Amino acid sequence: MAVVSLAATRFTKTALAARKERAEAVAKWAFFGMAVAMIIPLVAIIAYLLYRAAPSLSLEFLVEMPRRGMREGGIWPAFIGTLYLVVISLAVSAPIGVLAAIYLNEYARDTWFNRLINLAVINLAGVPSIVHALFGLGAFVYAAKFGYSIVAASLTLAIMTLPVIIASTREALASVPMAFREACWNVGATRWQTIKAVVLPNSISGILTGVILQVSRAAGETAPIMFTGAVFFKAIQPGTVFPYRLQDQCMALSMHLYTVSTQIPNVKESIPYATAIVLLGTVLLVNVSAIGLRVWLRNRKRW
């Protein structure tokens, strides 16, 4: 009986352990409350937009041309123009950003010049979009003589998203353990063979996530494209998938939303909200696709 009593006493919860459990429970529910506090405003905003946009949301709204001075009709030219701008800007910025990050993380030595480059990349990521817009106006519209065009607007968006792509790619590359590289070098592999066969396959999910998540910024910016290639209105054939040339100006969802909300009187009340839902839905769809692809790639990792 004495042995049983001693064992029971030994495993009895002490006052210190009880206090720690209570503190852990408080911290857990506090963090849960913070997470809920972040989600509730997003859900409320989307619900409010859907409620106000419901009278105009339909397939016809997406594929039709605006009518009556954009007071009625659809948003097809703006939707296609946004896809043009996002796809071309990412086609330019993604390869350059990934290759620059590979050089900075895998090849560059720790010198004052490379530290200066890293500092410039970090600072460039915080430059306001209106500054990028003025740079694009001077560099691409006037100096490069692209004029007001899809090319000039896309290159401006590419310059704007490039620093974040470089930073996210460097973080993904740095997450691959150095032991992987050393193992390859020890069996005679070159630095590039190590990067191509080991580093990139094991960091591709992080790289891809960083690249695709820039879609939300590129699709939602107004100032850079307003200064360089977006136009108030441009007529195209309804449902045409490739209505623009690279030298043309184009409509875009972000600028169209600004225009119908502030510049055009007597617009049907639900149209700006429906435009916002299409823009938000496009971004969310791309982000969800990126998350799904990231999960699939992470499940295929070798470590």
115/101 Cα distance (integer angstroms):
13
Architecture of domain 59-299: Orthogonal Bundle (1.10)
Whole-prediction pTM value?
0.82
| Token pair recorded at residue 92 | 């330019």
Q: Comparing C-alpha atoms, which of 219, 218, 211 is closest to residue 101? A: 211
Which amino acid is residue 164, in one-letter code? Answer: V
Q: Comparing C-alpha atoms, which of 277, 283, 272, 118 is closest to residue 215? A: 283
Which amino acid is residue 123, in one-letter code? Answer: N
- Average pLDDT on 76-96 reads 89
Under DSSP, the state recorded for 119 is H
Question: What is the per-residue pLDDT across 26-42, written as a single tens digit (0 to 9) for each?
Answer: 998 999 999 889 889 88
The CA-atom distances, in angstroms, between 294 and each of 9, 76, 219 are 50, 30, 21
228 close to 153: Cβ distance less than 8 angstroms: yes
- Average pLDDT on 81-89 reads 89
Comparing 216 with 168, which gets the higher pLDDT?
168
Does the pLDDT of residue 126 top 90, yes or no?
no
Does the pLDDT of residue 20 top 80, yes or no?
yes
Question: What is the per-residue pLDDT across 65-80, written as a single tens digit (0 to 9) for each?
Answer: 888 878 888 888 888 8
N residues, the chain: 303
Tell me what pLDDT residue 198 has.
Answer: 85
In terms of Cβ atoms closer than 10 Å to its own Cβ (0-12, 13-18, 19+), residue 101 is buried
The CA-atom distances, in angstroms, between 58 and each of 64, 257, 291 are 10, 17, 27
Distant-in-sequence, close-in-space partners of 170: CB < 8 Å, separation ≥ 6: 101, 104, 105
Of 2-6, 33-37, 251-255, which gets the smallest average pLDDT?
Answer: 2-6
Does the pLDDT of residue 4 top 70, yes or no?
no
